[in-house]
Amino acid sequence: MDDPIRTVLGPDGMHMEQEFGSLRWDVLTGETSTVIGEPGDGLRVVTRPDGTSVTEQQVGNMRFSPDRGVETIF
């Protein structure tokens, strides 16, 4: 696995997730999103479990997306 499990705090509360390859797995719900791009690339395309796709930007430990707003990664 590429990255350790991390805690994410956002407008909808706190959850734990892990990214490996092009997948982002929510440890608590088991939902998996597809992520195209690396955090250092600036913008990434994320396809959520419900099939919607959004553009997401990560700067440092802050992640911005139109559907989830601002999330802090610990």
Three-state DSSP class for residue 62: strand
- Contacts of 36-43 with CB under 8 Å at 24 or more apart are none
Pair type for strands 53-59 and 6-10: unpaired
Q: Tens digits of per-residue pLDDT, 3-59?
A: 789 999 999 999 999 998 899 999 999 999 999 987 777 799 999 999 999 999 998
Q: Is the pTM of this model over 0.85?
A: no
DSSP code of residue 51: S
d(CA 43, CA 37): 7
Domain ranges of the chain: 6-64
